[in-house]
Amino acid sequence: MLPVMITVDTEYASGYVASGEDTSCADNFARCLACDTPSGPVGIFYQMGVLDRHDLKAVFFVDPMPALLWGDEAVTRIVQPILSRGHEVQLHLHTEWLALAENSPFAVGRAGRNLSDFSCDEQEVLIGRAAERLVAAGAPWPVAFRAGNYGANDDTLRALKRLGIAFDSSFAPALIGGDCRIGLGPENLLPVTREGVREVPISAIATGTGLRHAQLTALSLSEMKAAIRHARAQDWRAFVLVSHSFEMMNRDRGIANRTVQRRFEALCQWLAEEPGVTTGTFADPAVRERLEGQRPISGRARALPASRMRELGRMAEQAFANAVYG
């Protein structure tokens, strides 16, 4: 049974605070977490409603750093609804918030855009104190982590090891050359142990120009279905899909992106009906067993081969979405 891990980076937007556009917790929450639109909310509460309707589980990587500005309640109001509905909370961390808060308990003497801008010892302090804020909001101590902007490096993994956090999911083989500095290559599509931590990469497919990451806004429904079937046929340890709390909303215009919304709804329905797949979480013992490599994998992992027809279909769909909702 292939675990499909629906992971949602769940976060307020520090950029809106820095620009003075949305400086209150309530406004930022409505725009980035609840994602209120004239046609109804499309944020985490809507997303959990769709997941619950199909008896699916998701992993919400929650960033507790906004507590530096707005207090612990800013994190609790995210964590508690997720836990009460049976989904999983793991740790996310955007270090941009350090520049917005003075005299914070997270302080390491300086700010930085990414975790990789800090030393291993500094990262240990930042991740450890962020984890404590997550626990104070009612979550268990995290077993998995994802860096904001995917901006981790090997020191991040060393810090996670010291803190007893077993899994990292900051590495995306399709996004090498971006903010991530973990020393892995595009061939690393499956979980691999590095610096004592199990790295669980964000999945990818092949295109005519390279790899494309498995993100809700980056792949069409047909590409996601084909990729998941391909991973099942190859006996991958897991298929990791990334999304965001605000992924189904154009936040500048304040409207829902119905193309992405329909894609998510159709994917959830398909996952509920497709044989040989299940949604998984990091704390699930059966999923952990696969991620930790205790079950055999058939052959060498290969990304779903490129398909010009699927690519053209996605481009047409994205062009329509950009014209109507972009």
Structural domain containing residue 201 = 2-325
How many structural domains comprise the chain?
1
Which pLDDT score is estimated for 300? 65
**Contact yes or no for 134/79 (Cβ under 8 A):** yes
Judge residue 103's burial from the number of C-beta atoms within 10 Å of its C-beta, 0-12 exposed, 13-18 middle, 19 or more buried: exposed
Local confidence band at 128 (pLDDT 50, 70, 90 cut-offs): very high
**Contact yes or no for 32/13 (Cβ under 8 A):** yes
Name the phi and psi angles at 260, rounded to 5: -70, -35
Which pLDDT score is estimated for 104? 67
**Contact yes or no for 226/192 (Cβ under 8 A):** no
Local confidence band at 147 (pLDDT 50, 70, 90 cut-offs): very high
- Digit-coded pLDDT (tens) for 66-86: 999 999 999 999 999 999 999
CATH number, domain containing residue 147: 3.20.20.370
- Digit-coded pLDDT (tens) for 205-217: 999 999 999 999 9
- Digit-coded pLDDT (tens) for 12-36: 999 999 998 878 999 999 999 999 9
Lowest mean pLDDT of 4-13, 68-77, 181-190, 293-302, name the range: 293-302
